[in-house]
Amino acid sequence: MELKIGDKFSTSKQITDEVVRAFAELSGDFNPIHLDEEFAKNTRFGKRIAHGMISGALISAVLGYQLRERSVVYLSQTMKFLAPVFIDDTVTATATVTNIREDKPIVTIECVCTNQNGEPVVKGEGVIMVLT
């Protein structure tokens, strides 16, 4: 295994209306806070917000494809949603290796998603197994 503690990997994506609508179709989550501007403007956010799990999917993209090993299996993931992601925000998911077990190819990753202003929107921890 080539990974070492402190290694960082990331990916970014603009969360457009098209992305949100495609995610609603995929997930079956048609909550109007994500899809209906009239509904959303009367909420505490004042406008539509993206599904929180879109940020989770970006974390999955980092762990599943950006890591140089590219042969990993997700074992667990925690996520705390810190701030909303609005339509047309750009989210960057960054994964940082924090622990590597010596007895097995099990790696713990700190996961942070930030918006285009560098503000954290999601924080969590993932655990993966690197396949050999």
Q: Provide the residue type at 28 as one letter.
A: G
- Which residues sit opposite 12 in a β-bridge? 92
Instruction: Tell the burial category of 89 from Cβ atoms under 10 Å away from its Cβ (0-12, 13-18, 19+).
Output: buried
Instruction: Give the chain's domains with CATH numbers.
Output: 8-130 (3.10.129.10)
Token pair in block for residue 103: 């007895």
Query: C-alpha 17: how far from its chain's center?
Result: 17
Are 127 and 106 a contacting pair, CB within 8 Å? yes
- Which residues sit opposite 96 in a β-bridge? 8, 110
Confidence label for 79 from pLDDT (cuts 50, 70 and 90): very high
| pTM of the model as a whole | 0.92
What backbone phi and psi angles, to 5 degrees, belong to 6? Answer: 100, -15
pLDDT at 131: 85
Q: pLDDT, tens digit, for every residue of 106-118? A: 999 999 999 999 9
pLDDT at 19: 98
